[in-house]
Amino acid sequence: MRKSITAAALVSVLALAGCSAPAAGGGAGDSSVTVDTPIGEAEKTELTIALSAPNVDSQAPVHIAIDKGFYEEEGLTISIIDADNIREGLVGGSLDLGVDNSIDLIDAAVAGTGLKIVAGYRAREPFLLAASADVKEPADLEGKQVILGDAPGTPIIDVRLNELAKAGFDLGGVGYQAVFPPGFSNAWVENFVADQVKLTPLFPRHIPIIEEAGGHFVLNEMMEWPNDSLATSESWVAENPNTLARFIRATTKGIEVYKDLSQQEYVQTLMESKDFTVTDAERDPAIYAYGPLLYDENMLMNQDSFEEALAAFGMEVPDWNSYVDDLNLQRAQAALEG
């Protein structure tokens, strides 16, 4: 999970939007396609896509769908590329589809870039924070160094503090020292193990390391949370509704395989063959299970969780249709159910 889109990044995306001038409206608004329209032949068959995070949990469903031939069955050829800025690629046209941080996508969409979220992707987030063995209550952190996020002022810090308070570990009024060591989550856990910090966020792959170091969880909750979403431009949707529906249908099948925990060996072997790292901790079925749990089977979007996340970040909640076009998601799911 990342902080919301920076002003500089948004200006860059908006500049591209002005240059490429995507069609206003588009997609569901300007097309004769309805939920009941049968999915026809793909308008575009060779797609370039980008996925937000280079790890197994975020990329496995798409690689599974490629390996199982689900995209091929839809007449699609998929090329996955690394992109420095997925939103810029979508607006500028170098990308057909992209999976990116949902909050960043909403920011860009409501700013007038012509982007739309067209399906859900990872729909949950594990909120995990661990404290040292000698920290029994919030007051024990008085004067101690703690990690709450990757940089001062990031909205996720407030979210974590709020969730800690709900869990009965309220840091309000406690004089802790927030620190921000470079290196993101792996560095956080290294600092925790070295007893340089007394509280840290972590991810499921770190659980065995934390437990071995004697840490205990003060927050361990899987929340409904719009982690990241599938997006493209309005003009692309208008020009390629059948391609989009076919891509979503194939990706849904990939997610279904990923969520089948009996497929762990297949999934991890596949991802290692694609040069992804699978750690010893991630081979533990209990740790592996966190990844598939992040997904819903059908790629649908929970409007309440989107709006709760926006509110948690202190952002205005825009009209749902200003950043979402789920018509072709509905078409794909109706075809799967039929």
Superfamily of domain 18-123+226-337: Periplasmic binding protein-like II (3.40.190.10)
Where do the structural domains in the chain lie, given as residue ranges? 18-123+226-337, 125-223
- At residue 18, the pLDDT reads 53
Q: For residue 47, what are the contacts with CB-CB under 8 A and spacing of at least 6?
A: 76, 77, 78, 79, 96, 97, 243, 247
* Nearest-5° Cα angle at 299, 295 to 304: 85
3-state SS, 310-323, equals HHHCCCCCCCHHHC
- At residue 39, the pLDDT reads 98
Q: How far apart (Å, rounded) are the C-alpha atoms in residues 62 and 254?
A: 6
Q: How far apart (Å, rounded) are the C-alpha atoms in residues 267 and 272?
A: 9
* Nearest-5° Cα angle at 66, 125 to 113: 60
Place of tokens 């939920």: 35
Q: Do 18-123+226-337 and 125-223 fold alike per CATH?
A: yes
What the block records as the tokens of 317 is: 């909640």
What the block records as the tokens of 98 is: 């992209």
| Res. 22: pLDDT tops 50 | no
- At residue 314, the pLDDT reads 86
Q: Per-residue confidence at 17, pLDDT binned at 50, 70, 90? A: low
Cα dist. 304→6, 59, 123, 290, 320 in Å?
A: 24, 25, 12, 22, 10
CATH no. of 125-223: 3.40.190.10
- At residue 52, the pLDDT reads 87
- At residue 53, the pLDDT reads 83
- At residue 338, the pLDDT reads 81
| Total-model pTM | 0.86
